[in-house]
Amino acid sequence: MGLDIRWPIGLMFTLIGALLAIYGIARPAGSVSLDININLVWGIVLLVFGVLMLAGAVLGGKNPPSA
């Protein structure tokens, strides 16, 4: 079975992270708490996690572990 869960997880987090980071850049005044742009920070965190998942899916071997 060739299902790798890292692909959908990586795509989902990358897409949500990119949208949130763009929103944080476009509307910084409405999402600032304690001088921290929450949407931008968490958008970048989600984007990095999603890219790491996609990199793991691309670089990961397709051979299942032998029993």
pTM: 0.77
pLDDT of residue 5: 86
For residue 27, report the phi and psi dihedrals to the nearest 5 degrees.
Answer: -130, 65
- Domain boundary assignment for the chain: 6-59
pLDDT-flagged residues of the chain (< 70)? 1-2, 28-32, 61-67
Instruction: Please give the Cα distance from 9 to 18 (Å, whole number).
Output: 14
Summarize pLDDT for 26-44 with one digit per residue, the tens. 876 666 677 778 888 899 9
Q: Which structure tokens are listed for 57?
A: 């899916």
Neighbours of 13 (CB within 10 A): 20
pLDDT of residue 47: 96
